[in-house]
Every structure is written in structure tokens, then in C-alpha cells.
Amino acid sequence: MSNIHIDPLFSLPVMIPEETFNMNNETKEYIKNLEKEPNTPDDNSNYISTNKYVLNEPELETLSEWLMKFINIYYKDIMKFKDSELYFTQSWVNYTKITQKHHVHNHPNSIVSGVFYLDDDDAKINFYRSDEQFCLSLNISEFNVFNSAKYAYNTKKNGVIIFPSKIRHDVDIQKSDKTRISLAFNTWATGKFGEMYSANLLELKWKN
């Protein structure tokens, strides 16, 4: 296999930085004690913060700046997009207690999304393939990022996972008696898109 080259052609990149955020107790307590409401009508649903713009709060300014650093790396350095930049739209905190789950979903009206984790946890975040590679039910000897219909990533204390907003994902049922807390966010862009000569020029100047 050493003389074979494999390209992750048309991939949907998921970014997991090695660096973690230096979380202080005041910031952690602020996040833990936000007002909460049920995430869905499901009896096993987790809870979500009533505030859906938590990264706009002054108490989370340092965390917001840290997350935006990696959003820019993803958008500019990895994806090589130019003439536009991302900014946070909505952001919220998820609280999942024992036996509760986080339903399968994606993030409409967003370009890049992410999840920041306050603590280590055994539950993984699961991502789901949206289309089939082959029109066959193929048996697999070993699952990997090329052949999986579902792929799970471990979470890391004070770490973030960044991904295209369209990818469907969920989180396993919480088995620990410790409340799992994560902060999720969406983004949108401002700047120039397309080209005048292609008759698809779009300039977005508004930013909240």
C-alpha cells in the first residue's frame, strides 16, 4: 500500500484543534448557571440555554475570541476562502443529564458550526453521511472516514470541534450522572461572493 495515494476528494472537513481553552472558574460557573429550557418536546430531551446569543455576552468575550481564532483558521487557512469572513450568529449552551440525549440535527442558516466542551465525557459526537457513495449494501471489514455512514469523535475538556453546518449529528445518551455541558454556535459571512463576469456577484455588508 505504500505506493498508493488516496485523496479525500470532495470531503467535508471536521477540525479538532489540539489546543484547549484556559477556562477559569468564573466563566465555567456563568455557563453552568444560565437559565435553561427543554431542547425538544421529547421526554428524553436535554436542556438548552434560554439565551441563544451567549457568545455576545461580556462574560464570554475571551472564549468568543478564542473560538473565532479557530473559525478563521478553518475558513481562511484550511478551506482557503477569500474576500469574506465569518462571524457568530446564534450561540447557546446544551445541558444533558443522565438518560437524556441530543437528537439528530444539523444547523440550517449557518455556514460553519462548532461545539465547545466544558468537561471530559464518555459520550461521543456522531456525524452522519448525507449521501451514498455506491448504490450497494456493502459489507465492511474495518470502518474509516471513507466508508462509514456514521462516524464518532471523542470530546475533549475545554476543546472545540468545528464542522460544516449541513452535516447531521447527534450525541449518545448520557450514561454518567454528571451533567454534560457544551456550547454550540453558528456562523454567517460578510464580504464578497462570486464574480461580476460570472453574473453571480453577491456582496453582504450587514453584520449583527
Using one digit for the tens of pLDDT, what is the confidence trace for 159-208?
999 999 999 999 888 888 889 999 999 999 999 999 999 999 999 987 66
Q: Residue 132: pLDDT band by 50, 70, 90 thresholds?
A: confident
Residue carrying C-alpha cell 485523496? 7
Percent of the chain with pLDDT over 90: 72
Q: What is the per-residue pLDDT for 44?
A: 72
Q: Is the pLDDT of residue 121 over 60?
A: yes
- Residue ranges of the domains in the chain? 25-204
- Of 82, 38, 30, nearest in space to 61 by CA: 30
Percent of the chain with pLDDT over 70: 97
Q: What is the per-residue pLDDT for 45?
A: 77
What mean pLDDT is reported for the chain?
A: 92
Q: Is the pLDDT of residue 43 over 80?
A: no
Mean pLDDT along residues 99-124: 89
Q: What is the per-residue pLDDT for 1?
A: 57
25-204: CATH topology is: Jelly Rolls (2.60.120)
Q: What is the per-residue pLDDT for 208?
A: 63
Q: What global pTM score does this model have?
A: 0.92
Q: What is the per-residue pLDDT for 167?
A: 96
What is the per-residue pLDDT across 136-146, written as a single tens digit (0 to 9) for each? 889 999 999 99
Q: Residue 115: pLDDT band by 50, 70, 90 thresholds?
A: very high
Q: What is the per-residue pLDDT for 88?
A: 97
What is the per-residue pLDDT across 9-20, written as a single tens digit (0 to 9) for each? 889 999 999 999
